[in-house]
Chain A
Amino acid sequence: MSAATAWTIPEVRAALDTGKISARELVKEFYARIERHNGELNAYLALSPDRAYAQADRIDAAIASGDALPPLAGVPLAVKDVISTHGIPTTCGSRILEGYRPPYDATAVTRLEHAGAIVLGKTNCDEFAMGSSNENSAYGPVRNPVATDRVPGGSSGGSGAAVAANLAVVALGTDTGGSIRQPGSFCGVAALNPSYGRVSRYGLLAYASSLDRIGPFARTVRDVAAVMSVIAGRDPLDSTSAAAPVPNYVAALGRPLTGLRIGIPDDYFAEGIDPEVRQKVEGGIRLLEKLGCRRVSIRMPNTEYAIAAYYIIATAEASSNLARYDGVRYGLRVPGGTLIEMYQKTRGRGFGTEVKRRIVLGTYVLSAGYYDAYYLKGQKVRSLIARDFHEAFEKVDAIVTPTSPVPPFRLGERTSNPLQMYLADIYTVTGSLAGVPGISVPTGKTAEGLPVGLQIYGPAFGEDRVLQLAHAFEQAGGAEL
């Protein structure tokens, strides 16, 4: 994919301001690219041309009449298929929601359209956001645009691939245990998982409600910051959205890094990390030091328990949230003689292998006699992991880790062993459990040319700090390490 065709938000704005292109022509250009490349990549599941051209025409009319343009005017946007879009198919990558068209928009989508962004369509993902490779989609896997024999990561694989392949300028994904950051890493783009409660979840089809978050993908950290400035903030329709004030994330980017303390958890480099990933991440840490950061060695002693706690809590919440897919009100119905048979057949055929596996595990850990041993234990360990982060942030301003212990792997290479796939989420689930923000930014490529991601964690509601570090890192050539 040639760099000449890659747009950023400021470039879109400059082209509209100078009349180099109209919003309608821009949308047409993107749909032409999608038409050319989506057959191979499978990044989009549905397109919304009527809605996109209507929005483009509103932007072009505003330009013609000399009106002030909103901050994201004309910016082509892709939306992960677990986020509701009024009248546009929203399947969560599942057969059980085939043909479902939500009767309303998610708050994040409403806010982005108000800010002038143009929804091009819905992106492929692991079914109900459960997976780390995008191979669990009922509509086929997404291919990584950097190396098409490789997975794009998951679960927001379509969003990562769409941005990396310039099939959208920015995209929304969702992250429960790493589903924004890991595909960001695998596709070589910037991807932010905001603090829990920073972005409204209204209209997000729930997987694990105490962990789910919506966040942006973009080719530059500046564009991630621009999207965050629009989607962050309290929403009366989500009682878990926080009232904490929203800073101007773009304005915060230029500040120097001098004196910032970055914590490097020894426990994250202990075992199981690919040697090339380790080498690139250590190079990234040295670059941050050159930019004025001070490296501090820290301990996160409960890290090794994070995966176990995560897969108890996430599957327990999923088993409850996914009870609503019963063939009564929306999506698939498989007929049965009785109501219960109808439920059982609909769910048995409508859900895929990974989703059923997690529903069974989640139901098991919540069931009578096992609740204390599993769910309650998991919630206690979650407290300890959150404490690891709180204590670390008393000593450091940010924590720097790899995003994934491995570079993008080949399609089919890891599907046979679910536990092995779960274990690779180690660096991202910790921050998910603690509720803190984390960004993945490219930190060079392996000898084979595969992207490696550097993760920067900040304290809760410290997105401005995380973005400031990631932006300086990117501007200093972090992606070329």
Chain B
Amino acid sequence: MKISREDVMKVAALANLELTDAEVETYRGQLDDILTYIDKLNEIDTSNVEPMAQVLAASADDSALREDAVVRSDVIAEVLRGAPDPAPPYFRVPRVIEK
């Protein structure tokens, strides 16, 4: 067994994900199968292989740098209208700092 119930619960906590007991059990079994399958990668020696950090080699024209110019977007009111609990110009959330 590659992954325990505790592993699943720990990872779910890291991901801020509430799972039911049934979900923990289902995912544990499925992830065990998937991770066992992924083990086939150990068949290949990659000690001299560079990890792929960029999908396509950038050309000189592909520079991600641009002029640092201010652009008005004017979407604040529209964004807040779509929020679950807006308190313009803020998003309201449960209290995080005790008095």
Task: Give A contacts to B, CB under 8 Å.
Answer: 99-101, 103-104, 195-197, 210, 234, 236, 239-240, 242-244, 302, 304-305, 307-309, 311-312, 319, 323, 326-333, 335-345, 347-349, 351, 353, 356-357, 359-361, 363-364, 367, 374, 376-384, 386, 418-419, 422, 433, 435, 460
Complex Cα–Cα for A302 and B43 (A): 11
B1 CB-CB contact with A under 8 Å: no
Q: List 8 A-B contacts (CB under 8 A).
A: A197-B56, A240-B55, A330-B79, A347-B18, A364-B11, A383-B49, A383-B50, A418-B30
Count B-side interface residues using an 8 Å CB cutoff.
51
Q: Which residue of A lies closest to B46 (CB)?
A: A380
Tell me if A384 and B49 are in contact (CB < 8 A).
yes
* Given A242-B62, A328-B91, A356-B17; A308-B55 close (CB under 8 Å): no
Nearest A residue to B60 via CB reads: A243
- Measured between beta carbons, the chain B residues less than 8 angstroms from A336 are 94
Query: Given A103-B75, A308-B38, A361-B34, A327–B14 Cβ distance below 8 Å?
Result: no
B34 touches A419 (CB 8 A): yes
Residues on A with C-beta less than 8 A from B56 are 195-197, 242, 435, 460
Q: How many A-B residue pairs have CB under 8 A?
A: 162
A234 to B61, CA, bound (A): 10
Which residues in B have their C-beta under 8 angstroms from that of A340?
A: 16
CA A384 to CA B8, docked complex, whole Å? 31
A475 to chain B minimum Cβ distance, whole angstroms, is 31
- Contact partner of B41 (CB less than 8 A), chosen from A309, A363, A433, is A309
Is there an interface contact between A333 and B85, defined as CB atoms closer than 8 Å?
yes
- A residues in contact with B94, CB < 8 Å: 335-339, 341-342
- By secondary structure, the B interface counts as loop
Q: How far apart are the CA atoms of A361 and B66 in the complex, in Å?
A: 36
Distance in angstroms from B92 CB to nearest chain A CB is 9
User: Which of B66, B93, B96 is the one whose CB lies under 8 Å from A236?
Assistant: B66
Q: Digit string of B35-76 for contact with A (CB within 8 Å is 1, else 0)?
A: 101101111101001111101100101101010000000010
Query: A376 contacts which chain B residues (CB < 8 A)?
Result: 51
Chain A: which residue is nearest B92 at the CB level?
A328
Q: Across chains A and B, which 8 residue pairs bring their CB atoms closest together, nearest first?
A: A348-B18, A379-B51, A243-B61, A333-B84, A239-B64, A380-B46, A344-B18, A343-B16
B82 at the A interface (CB under 8 A):
yes
**With A and B bound together, what is the CA distance between A386 and B42 in angstroms?**
18
Select one of B19, B46, B83 contacting A384, CB under 8 A: B46
CB–CB B16/A361 < 8 A: no
Chain A residues near B82: list those with CB within 8 A.
99-101, 103, 329-330
Assembly CA distance A265 to B17 (angstroms): 42
Q: Determine if B55 and A210 form an interchain contact, defined as CB atoms under 8 angstroms apart.
A: yes
Q: Is the CB of B59 within 8 A of A243?
A: yes
Judging by beta carbons under 8 Å apart, are B55 and A197 in contact? yes
Question: Quick one: given A197-B55, A244-B59, are A360 and B49 in contact (CB under 8 Å)?
Answer: no
The complex places the Cα of A368 from the Cα of B17 at a distance, in Å, of 18
A-chain residues with CB within 8 Å of residue B18 when the two chains form the complex: 344-345, 347-349
Q: How far is the CB of A36 from chain B (nearest CB, A)?
A: 32
- In B2-36, the 8 Å CB interface with A consists of 3, 7-8, 11-12, 14-20, 23, 27, 30-31, 33-35
Q: Is the beta-carbon distance between B84 and A311 smaller than 8 angstroms?
A: no
Tell me whether A344 and B59 are in contact in the complex, defined as CB-CB below 8 angstroms, given that A309-B41, A332-B84, A337-B94 are known contacts. Answer: no
Give the shortest distance, in Å, between A280 (CB) and chain B (any CB). 29
Q: Which residue of A lies closest to B78 (CB)?
A: A103
Across the interface, which residues of A come within 8 angstroms of B33, CB to CB?
419
Bound Cα distance A333, B40 (Å): 40
